């Protein structure tokens, strides 16, 4: 399998290895032969000053790991080649990471193994672990499938923690791999590295052998995509990455099967829908684009009106489909809920565990994860409302329901359905035109004002993107959410929704993840970027340039953490001790941040700051033209607070 003889060198021998590599270049000898055995000098690099370094043997013993510390080894078929082959077999497109010695073997395989190398997964250079994981968040919301985020040891996982929590809360699949390197960098290698994030990671493993590592990666992928979806973590030991795999075979990947509605219920639901005079299908957040297609197929078969979550988050029903809306008659006599509540039959996925702090039973953060009956975020709570709440995967159940509906439809029924469809479509069209007229009227407020109105940003953008395959990747509630009324969300990835746990520092990296998805799919990504959010980890701008991603960033630059300014302003009013200092700690002024220069520093083309709204249209056109050519672009716009 290996194309050529490969060499694996323990990192404690790094300097020796580098020197030997140079010697090998000069002498022409293979590196392993040119190099003396590495010396065991635990903690020789990076050890905290004054702290006695534990020996590799001590650490290994404490960790219950009996393998001896490795020295220099030449291997023909490194274990990490097989790890990468597992990812290839599962169709993983990208692995994002900033570098770390704990996964040097794995990284070397990603970039060098395979024909061609560095494809599926392609190595994506991130500048912060939080960014790697949130890239995975945006990518998964755009595609319905996981990419890989690679984290360096304990410290990399710690940097990634907020993003992992956010993905868990949003039930977003991400396959995380952490490197663990006790012999070289013990202080980055806690005995139980996943423990820190276990309460908000769906599944984790610390495999002890190479075969276990391969099956762990497969199981982590399966667990990530099985509802309730979530981030999973495999800790890959550096020694296993460098191990000689010999003739070990890569195990065949078997995709998971998802729980579906049982045959009796399928019949009941299909009969309910087919026999109803006015059936309805309420669509919440489905798992993948395929689920959206199936929901459309079912609604069309039945002439059933639908509700949609398309403007609130990903993977729901197309917003302007003729059947989307209340329809001609709002007396629905049978409603099927797909990942939503309040119907005769609601199919909802199982809930993830409620997160509790160890010594405190209060839920963490934005309501934590809602359990069954809690309503849930993004329409994905368990149970609640309706006559029959069925815990099963809606997307996997849809083909069964569709097949049964098709079986039950007679010629008479089909005629009734055609008639019903026409009436609903006409009523929905009239209502839609009225709603758009009213919305456009409402958005004229402050049209020519400076700073620029957020409604004008969305209005000016629409004609430029409406004929493209576009994806609004950033949360929009802080910029008015005007796309909900002004744009047509007709694809599962049209809008990716909010920060699932309200964690800031999300919009930019999630947009880069969405842009990774867009790159190979001839799609463009629109990122309406709040300024406070970008400043958490702006290095993702560089990643977008480096990988030539089609991402248009429009700064909603209100020069503040305005959400917090509003809270503190309110508090100063309540306490009556002066209302003129609420800005302290809440505004991003003095100096103003120059985002065009920030982008330029990262190599991204851009323009601004723009305060005159009349300049927007031409700037946006330049931006859209640039991203259509596959390059990111930033336009800094000085905006109203909201
Ligand atoms: C990690 C994290 N830290 C702090 C907060 C508290 N917080 C909520 S909104 C907000 C301000 C965000 O500022 P910006 O992104 O510029 O949006 P704006 O409110 O100005 O529209 C902050 C700091 C948070 N939600 N997440």
Q: What is the pLDDT of residues 591-604, one digit of tens each?
A: 999 999 999 999 99
Distance 532 CA to ligand 1 centre (A): 6
For residue 220, pLDDT over 50 is answered with: yes
Measured distance CA(230)–CA(236) in Å, rounded:
19
For residue 124, pLDDT over 80 is answered with: yes
| Secondary structure in 3-state letters for 447-490 | CCCCCECHHHHHHHHHHHHCCCCEEECCCCHHHCCCHHHHCCCC
Determine whether the shortest distance from the Cβ of 502 to ligand 1 is under 6 A.
yes
For residue 396, pLDDT over 80 is answered with: yes
**pLDDT for residue 522:** 95
For residue 33, pLDDT over 90 is answered with: no
Q: Cβ distance 171 to 44 under 8 Å?
A: no
Q: Among 162, 480, 530, 563, which is best to mutate for testing ligand 1, by the most ligand atoms less than 8 A from CB?
A: 563
- Specify the ligand 1 atom closest to the Cα of 561: 13
**pLDDT for residue 41:** 34
52 compared with 202, residue with greater pLDDT? 202
Determine whether the shortest distance from the Cβ of 531 to ligand 1 is under 6 A.
yes
For residue 32, pLDDT over 80 is answered with: no
Reported confidence tier of residue 39, pLDDT bands at 50, 70, 90: very low
Q: Cβ distance 393 to 260 under 8 Å?
A: yes
Instruction: Mark residue 28 as left, alpha or beta (left: phi above 0; alpha: psi -120 to 50; beta: remaining).
Output: left
Reported confidence tier of residue 62, pLDDT bands at 50, 70, 90: low
**pLDDT for residue 208:** 97
Determine whether the shortest distance from the Cβ of 530 to ligand 1 is under 6 A.
yes
**pLDDT for residue 103:** 97
Query: Percent of the chain having pLDDT more than 90?
Result: 76
Q: What is the pLDDT of residues 292-330, one digit of tens each?
A: 999 999 999 999 999 999 999 999 999 999 999 999 999
Determine whether the shortest distance from the Cβ of 244 to ligand 1 is under 6 A.
no
Strand, coil or helix: 214: helix
Of the candidates 526, 506, 543, the one whose C-alpha atom is nearest the C-alpha of residue 95 is: 543
Distance 231 CA to ligand 1 centre (A): 23
Rank 145-149, 268-272, 444-448 by mean pLDDT and report only the highest: 145-149
Q: Cβ distance 179 to 103 under 8 Å?
A: yes
Strand partners, 552: 526, 633
Mean of all residue pLDDT scores within the chain: 86
Measured distance CA(372)–CA(460) in Å, rounded:
42
Distance 470 CA to ligand 1 centre (A): 26
Q: Cβ distance 558 to 531 under 8 Å?
A: yes
- Specify the ligand 1 atom closest to the Cα of 505: 1
Determine whether the shortest distance from the Cβ of 562 to ligand 1 is under 6 A.
yes
Distance 544 CA to ligand 1 centre (A): 23
CB atoms within 10 A of CB 297: 15
For 219, 413, 595, the CA distances from 553, given in Å and listed in that order, are 36, 50, 11
Q: What is the pLDDT of residues 412-456, one digit of tens each?
A: 999 999 999 999 999 999 999 999 999 999 899 999 999 999 999
Determine whether the shortest distance from the Cβ of 527 to ligand 1 is under 6 A.
no
| Lookup result for tokens 């030991």 | 237
Its pTM stands at 0.87
Which tokens is 135 given? 């890239």
Distance 505 CA to ligand 1 centre (A): 8
For residue 487, pLDDT over 60 is answered with: yes
For residue 63, pLDDT over 50 is answered with: yes
- Specify the ligand 1 atom closest to the Cα of 531: 16
7 compared with 147, residue with greater pLDDT? 147
Which tokens is 453 given? 């109105």
**pLDDT for residue 348:** 79
Residue nearest to atom 11 of ligand 1 (CA): 561
Distance 83 CA to ligand 1 centre (A): 38
- Specify the ligand 1 atom closest to the Cα of 642: 21
| Lookup result for tokens 């209502």 | 431
Reported confidence tier of residue 52, pLDDT bands at 50, 70, 90: low
**pLDDT for residue 183:** 87
| CA–CA–CA angle 555, 561, 566 (5° rounding) | 125
Output DSSP code: residue 186: G
Residue nearest to atom 4 of ligand 1 (CA): 504
**pLDDT for residue 66:** 46
Distance 586 CA to ligand 1 centre (A): 10
Q: Among 561, 565, 587, 642, which is best to mutate for testing ligand 1, by the most ligand atoms less than 8 A from CB?
A: 561
**pLDDT for residue 565:** 97
Residue nearest to atom 14 of ligand 1 (CA): 532
Reported confidence tier of residue 574, pLDDT bands at 50, 70, 90: very high
Q: What is the pLDDT of residues 355-392, one digit of tens each?
A: 543 333 332 322 222 233 333 333 333 333 445 678 88
User: Containing H/E element for 279?
Assistant: strand 279-283
Measured distance CA(627)–CA(634) in Å, rounded:
10
Distance 135 CA to ligand 1 centre (A): 19
């Amino acid at each position: 399998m290996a194309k050529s003889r490969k060499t694996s060198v323990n990192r404690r021998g790094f300097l020796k290895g580098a020197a030997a590599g140079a010697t090998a270049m000069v002498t022409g000898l293979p590196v392993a032969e040119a190099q003396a055995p590495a010396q065991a000098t635990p903690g020789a690099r990076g050890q905290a000053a004054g702290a006695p370094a534990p020996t590799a043997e001590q650490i290994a013993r404490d960790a219950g790991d009996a393998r001896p510390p490795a020295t220099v080894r030449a291997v023909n078929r490194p274990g990490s080649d097989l790890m990468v082959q597992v990812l290839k077999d599962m169709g993983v497109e990208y692995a994002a990471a900033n570098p770390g010695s704990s996964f040097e073997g794995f990284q070397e395989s990603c970039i060098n193994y395979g024909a061609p190398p560095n494809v599926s997964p392609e190595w994506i250079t991130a500048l912060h672990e939080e960014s790697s994981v949130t890239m995975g968040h945006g990518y998964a919301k755009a595609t319905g499938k996981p990419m890989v985020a690679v984290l360096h040891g304990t410290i990399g996982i710690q940097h990634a923690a907020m993003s992992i929590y956010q993905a868990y809360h949003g039930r977003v699949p991400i396959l995380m791999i952490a490197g663990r390197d006790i012999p070289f960098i013990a202080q980055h290698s806690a005995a139980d590295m996943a423990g820190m994030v276990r309460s908000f990671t769906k599944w984790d493993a610390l495999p002890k052998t190479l075969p276990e590592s391969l099956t762990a990666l497969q199981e982590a992928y399966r667990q990530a995509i099985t509802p309730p979806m979530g981030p999973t973590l495999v800790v890959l030991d550096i020694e296993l990455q460098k191990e000689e795999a010999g003739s070990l075979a890569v195990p065949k990947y078997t995709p998971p099967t998802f729980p579906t509605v049982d045959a009796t219920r399928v019949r009941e639901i299909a009969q309910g829908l087919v026999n109803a005079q006015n059936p309805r299908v309420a669509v919440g957040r489905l798992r993948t684009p395929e689920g959206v297609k199936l929901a459309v197929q079912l609604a069309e078969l039945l002439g059933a009106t639908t509700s949609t979550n398309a403007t609130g988050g990903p993977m729901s029903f197309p917003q302007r489909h003729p059947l989307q809306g209340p329809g001609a008659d709002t007396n629905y006599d049978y409603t099927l809920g797909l990942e939503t509540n309040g119907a005769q039959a609601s199919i909802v996925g199982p809930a993830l565990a409620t997160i509790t702090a160890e010594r405190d039973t209060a839920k963490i953060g934005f309501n934590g994860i809602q359990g069954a009956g809690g309503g849930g975020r993004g329409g994905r709570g368990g149970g609640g409302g309706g006559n029959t709440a069925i815990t099963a995967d809606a997307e996997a159940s849809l083909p069964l329901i569709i097949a049964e509906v098709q079986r039950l439809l007679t010629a008479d029924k089909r005629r009734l359905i055609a008639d019903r469809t026409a009436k609903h479509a006409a009523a929905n069209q009239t209502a839609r035109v009225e709603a758009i007229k009213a919305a456009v009227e409402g958005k004229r407020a402050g049209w020519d004002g400076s700073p620029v109105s957020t409604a004008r940003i969305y209005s000016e953008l629409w004609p430029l993107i409406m004929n493209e395959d576009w994806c609004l990747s950033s949360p929009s509630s802080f910029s008015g959410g005007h796309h909900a009324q002004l744009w047509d969300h007709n694809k599962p990835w049209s809008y990716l929704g909010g920060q699932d746990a309200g964690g800031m520092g999300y919009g930019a990296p999630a947009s880069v993840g969405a842009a990774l998805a867009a790159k190979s799919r001839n799609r463009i990504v629109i990122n309406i970027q709040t300024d406070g959010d970008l400043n958490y980890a702006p290095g993702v701008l560089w990643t977008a340039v480096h990988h030539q991603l089609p991402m248009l960033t429009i700064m909603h630059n209100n020069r503040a953490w305005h959400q917090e300014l509003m809270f503190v302003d309110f508090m100063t009013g309540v306490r009556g001790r002066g209302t003129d200092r609420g800005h302290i700690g809440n505004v991003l002024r003095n100096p103003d941040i120059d985002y065009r220069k920030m982008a330029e520093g990262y190599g991204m083309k851009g323009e601004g700051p723009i305060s005159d709204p009349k300049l927007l249209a031409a700037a946006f056109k330049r931006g859209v033209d640039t991203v259509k050519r596959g390059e990111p672009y930033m336009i800094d716009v000085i905006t109203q607070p909201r």
